Structure 1
């Protein structure tokens, strides 16, 4: 499967995750978010860039529990809550945010 972004074909798997992580750009993130019916705000971008930072450090996409703890560590306890992340990336924050951030599917997400 492919997404067409600015007349460029970008390969995605059957669930919409990028096949080649190096293809990710903010424009691609916007397109992936549109596919999820999410309009990206500055709050979304903070989480997206933190996810990419997490991946660069640990070479995995975090499951929900690890994501919540990482966001709490980086953005504070008011944002390090699953309810906050669910409000940004429904219905599955770890999965949806990882997809938009151009990362692989977290291993424990269906």
Structure 2
């Protein structure tokens, strides 16, 4: 299984770079993952989405879709695409240290 090193800590990831063990994630890691994704610095609005993603993953076992994010996170779909231009659900999931949401290609 591949690994990636964030904040000086090696973590197991899948072939697409998503964490396979979300319990290994820390907030300082998110900053580094976001920079690598071309998103920096993380704003309070980014953190709203990241924390929502982690909470939904903990509750449901998968990350939410863009549609659910737009309806439930307090951040509109339009703003999600401004915050995470390369695909909100997929990019936010990677930064949040959770596996790729179902339905993301």
Structure 1 unmatched ranges of 5 or more = none
Larger Rg: 1
Out of 64, 89, 101, the position equivalent to 1:94 is 89
Structure 2 unmatched ranges of 5 or more = none
Question: 1:83 and 2:84 equivalent?
Answer: no
Deviations 1:58-85 (A, max 9, x none): 22111111111112xxx3xxx3x21100
Task: Could you list the structure 1 runs, at least 4 aligned residues long, displaced by more than 4 angstroms after superposition.
Answer: none
Q: With the length of structure 2 as denominator, give the TM-score of the two structures.
A: 0.87
Question: 1:103 and 2:105 equivalent?
Answer: no
Q: With the length of structure 1 as denominator, give the TM-score of the two structures.
A: 0.84
The corresponding residue for 1:47 is 49
- The number of equivalent residue pairs is 103
Measure, in 2, the Cα distance between the counterparts of 1:82 and 1:22: 28
